[in-house]
Chains A and B, each alone.
Chain A
Amino acid sequence: MSHIRHSLQIRHVDAGSCNGCEQELTALTSAAYDFQRVGLDWVASPRHADALLLTGPVSDPMARPVERVWAAIPAPKWRIAFGDCAAGCGVFQAAYGIHGGLPEADLVIRGCPPEPGAALQQLRDAMQAMAPHPDHTVGG
């Protein structure tokens, strides 16, 4: 599974974000950060993904779609919580409509929203660190 060191294909799902995280994720694709040069990319289907990257505190209508996207990603696979809301420590944690972030995240990128340069560095570090332990199973 050493391919993870060189390439991590990510499916993004927004579950109640304020769009700050999304704008910074888009910035990662821009020339200033160009995350494709280090093997990161967004994929349009969870079937092509190595990881689920979640933004937002998980609004109730998105809870099931998030589970389905995770189930559709083939193992080995990783969960990434992007931003304070997904990390379970955002300001809307106590609102009735939310479930409170992504449980059991393999990588938590804090920030409101995370600054793209720092986020890119954390993703790169994680790609190295994740490689020896890719033992999640489907649905796990």
Chain B
Amino acid sequence: MDNPWIRQNVALKEAHAELLTVTATRNHRLQATWLDPASGRQEQVTVDVSQEHFPSLTPMLPEVAWDEREIHDVFGYVPEGHPDLRPLLRTPRWPDNFRPLRDQPRARPTWRDAEPDNPALTVEGDGITIMKVGPTHAGVIESGHFVFSLMGENVLNLDAHLFQNHRGVESLLEGQTIDAVGAMVTRICAADTVSHQTNWALAVEALAGYDAGATLTLDRILLLESERVVSHLNDLAQIPAGVGFQVAHQQALAIKEDWQRGLQRLYGHRFLFDTVRPGWVASVDPENLLRLVHAIGRSWTPWRRLVEGHHGFNDRMAGVGVTTRAEVVRFGGQGVVARAAGKAFDARTLLPLYQDLRPVPVLESDGDVRARFAVRIHEVEASLRLIEQAAERLRRQTTPRDAHWRPPDEVSGQVVVYTESPHGLNVHEVAMDRGRVLRYHIRAATYRNWPLLAHAVPGNAVADFPLINKSFELCYSCTDR
């Protein structure tokens, strides 16, 4: 604790700050950026990497366990005192000394002729069964590899091996021009694409000193909230599927389909790809979006009555996959998962973007599948109301839409920006040098929530894993990058 890096970071955590990012750079420096949820101010702590080592924060702050393992894999800096320094992104197929973010590879590496699996953590003893799931799956889902240690039907341990979908996005972004970045950032993750796009736009605008006007801001809120509706409807459809409640599953998919067809009609894309750029946003006649909101309400209300009135379904969700508020705080959990356990954090309350619309975090306290389901239901309705408010304001706007601002070619500097994606606090740390990306770090909410999921599953029956997993509904692509 006498180390200033550890002391300062622990002090910020104890002062209830939210960790935004822990990033390393090629010039042997680490930087932690924290957010004070009371004031919205950011605080930064830095440390030098000395002879390839830096003091690990993980024993005091377990939420950075993965960040430090990642830094070890992609930079080769060793977190001294880390309790579990197994590879996270690195696989046995990576060549020796392949440190992609440190060495800026110009070509693809020559992969070793080896299996990609990293060693799994399992429980050993009489009567214990090891069950491996993935990386390919029986249904249509993203790829992940899960190793369960079971005693009968009870899960003793879950070791989640993600990063099967690791593309190398951060490395690819380095050296790109402002015009080239947008299409890539859009496709980090389809479920949180608007949030990623908005982060990139906010980063460039902040570095260039551009102040987005009211119309631009309101149009972005329409997109961010429309995306939340798509994503939450998807998750609300998947949770009943996890217990075989097919009517609720299919009806929710039908509502989602109607919503996406509306977005396709208005914005030209069912997931809103390529709708936000620095200084620009796709805009529609607010009247048309209001009509879509009203149309959705007609099928939403009966669906909500169906799922809330079904006792069997609600009994099935109650008490399953519990995460407590204390665990959420300890692991830095975010988004629906955190709010369902009673942690009142929603980045929208801090964003200048939302100014006087004043969104209020939706809270539940039980931290189980039912609570996560309920938070999403309330957040869909809150998002539809926010869309109505923003659209009403746009309709009343008498000033013409802001002219398209083009960022200057010579944008330089470093900034940490964030939005509340459908999955929670989504952070980008962007460093630019004369209009080109020097370093781009993406820390999605799901990165924080995956370790929490692995923690919530033990103690439950293995047959409940799909239900618990779907109630967290964590994206792999945001995490794997």
Contacts and interface: CB of A to CB of B under 8 A. Distances in A.
Contacts of A128: none
Contacts of A64: 115-116
Contacts of A13: 136, 143
A65 B135 contact: yes
B187 A90 contact: yes
B167 A19 contact: no
Interface in A88-107: 90-92, 94-98
B141 A18 contact: no
A18 to B, nearest CB: 5
Interface stretch (B8-16, B24-32, B188-196): B188-196
A115 B269 CA distance: 9
A77 to B, nearest CB: 16
Contact of A16 (B109, B167, B475): B167
Contacts of B191: 19, 23
Contacts of A65: 135-136, 143
Contacts of B260: 27
Nearest to A53: B140
Contact of B254 (A31, A91, A96): A31
A59 interface: yes
Interface stretch (B158-166, B354-362, B384-392, B428-436): B158-166
Contact of B140 (A15, A26, A61, A113): A26
B116 A17 contact: no
B183 A91 contact: yes
A98 B168 contact: yes
A96 B141 contact: no
A87 to B, nearest CB: 14
- B contact residues, range: 35 or more
Contacts of B270: 24, 113, 115
A32 interface: yes
B41 interface: no
Contacts of A29: 140
Contacts of B123: none
Contact of B165 (A17, A42, A90): A17
A64 to B, nearest CB: 6
Contacts of B476: 19
Contacts of A44: 138-139
B143 A60 contact: no
B48 interface: no
B187 A18 contact: yes
A75 interface: no
Interface residues on A, range: 35 or more
Contacts of A62: 135-136, 143, 164-165
A56 B171 CA distance: 18
Most B-side CB within 10 Å, residue of A14, A17, A62: A14
Given A25-B140, A32-B257, A18 B188 contact: yes
A92 B166 CA distance: 11
A92 B184 contact: yes
Nearest to A10: B140
Given A30-B250, A32-B257, A113-B190, A95 B169 contact: yes
Interface in B446-479: 475-477
Contact of A12 (B135, B140, B257, B475): B140
Interface string B130-158: 00000110111111000000000000000
B105 interface: yes
A92 B100 contact: no
A90 B165 CA distance: 15
A65 B115 CA distance: 10
Q: Which of A24, A64, A96, A115 has the most CB of B within 10 A?
A: A96
Contact of A59 (B164, B188, B254): B164
Contact of B167 (A26, A45, A59): A59
Given A14-B141, A31-B254, A32-B254, A92 B167 contact: yes
20 contacts: A13-B143, A14-B141, A17-B142, A18-B187, A19-B189, A20-B273, A26-B140, A27-B257, A29-B140, A30-B257, A61-B91, A61-B116, A62-B165, A63-B116, A66-B136, A91-B184, A92-B169, A96-B172, A113-B190, A115-B264
7 shortest interchain CB distances as A-B pairs: A20-B190, A44-B138, A97-B168, A30-B253, A61-B116, A95-B168, A96-B168
Interface of B: 91, 93, 100, 105, 107-109, 111, 115-116, 135-136, 138-143, 163-169, 171-172, 183-184, 187-191, 193, 234, 250, 253-254, 257, 260, 264, 270-271, 273, 475-477, 480
